[in-house]
Amino acid sequence: GAGVSQSPSNKVTEKGKDVELRCDPISGHTALYWYRQSLGQGLEFLIYFQGNSAPDKSGLPSDRFSAERTGGSVSTLTIQRTQQEDSAVYLCASSLLSGNTDTQYFGPGTRLTVL
Amino acid sequence: GEDVEQSLFLSVREGDSSVINCTYTDSSSTYLYWYKQEPGAGLQLLTYIFSNMDMKQDQRLTVLLNKKDKHLSLRIADTQTGDSAIYFCAVMFSGGYNKLIFGAGTRLAVHP
């Protein structure tokens, strides 16, 4: 079946502009996660959704970052007034939240470049 | 806070075994994962191990877990050029939410 998809695959924007990144999780997956991967770094957790609610927003780096999930499916990550340090690959993952394994499956990511 | 450490680079000859190591600090972690990332691609789940296991084998992959030392390793037998990628160790955070804590990744280079 289809995996996690993300759009756009690449986004170049100017400093100060707002951007929206989209994630389509695997159908039926209850949990959705956003991570950020900066150049040469590991993955940094941003936010976790269970259904439409976000019990853990602890990883959002500033109030310029927000995310929502509607209908228990698609999620959008919005970055307002982008800064150059926001340049990174933003990865989305989803999981079934069944049993204890909760294996997360990742999308291909959106590469964001802020000029 | 929770931390996961990996060596950054490993170079092996084609046909040899590769061993990628990882240490972590959260002793309550229940599941530990290995992901593979090829250039320009997302993360591909390779394998995972539950914390009450010492070893898990899946074809060419062997995962060893030393819970006492909080050490995880991934062994790739008969390493091929197609195994060249970045390998991430990830530990499930035990603090109530299902977030993964990732290491910085080990870049595996396979040469003839």
Give yes or no for residue A1 having a pLDDT over 60.
no
Residue tagged 């590769």 (tokens): B18
Position B42 scores a pLDDT of 82
Mark which residues 28-67 of A lie under 8 Å from B by CB.
31, 33, 35, 40-45, 48, 55-56, 59
What average pLDDT does chain B have? 90
Please tell me which of the candidates B41, B44, B102 has its beta carbon nearest to residue A42: B102
pLDDT at site B99: 77
Q: Do A55 and B92 touch (CB under 8 A)?
A: no
Pick the residue of A24, A106, A110, A111 with the most B CBs within 10 A to test the interface with B by mutation: A106
Show which residues on chain B lie within 8 Å of chain A, measured between beta carbons: 4, 30-31, 33, 35, 41-45, 48, 50, 88, 90, 92, 97-105
Give the pLDDT of residue B61. 96
Averaged pLDDT of chain A? 90
Phi first, then psi: what are they for B6, rounded to 5°? -140, 155
For B78-87, letters b (16+ CB in 10 Å) and e give ebeeebbbbb
pLDDT tens by residue, B18-53: 999 999 987 777 889 999 999 878 889 999 998 889
pLDDT band at B10 (very low <50, low <70, confident <90, very high): very high
**DSSP label at A64?**
T
Q: To 10 degrees, the CA torsion angle through B93, B95, B97, B103?
A: -20
Chain B residues near residue A109 by CB distance under 8 angstroms: 42
The type of residue at B4 is V
Work out the pLDDT band at B93, boundaries 50, 70, 90. Answer: confident
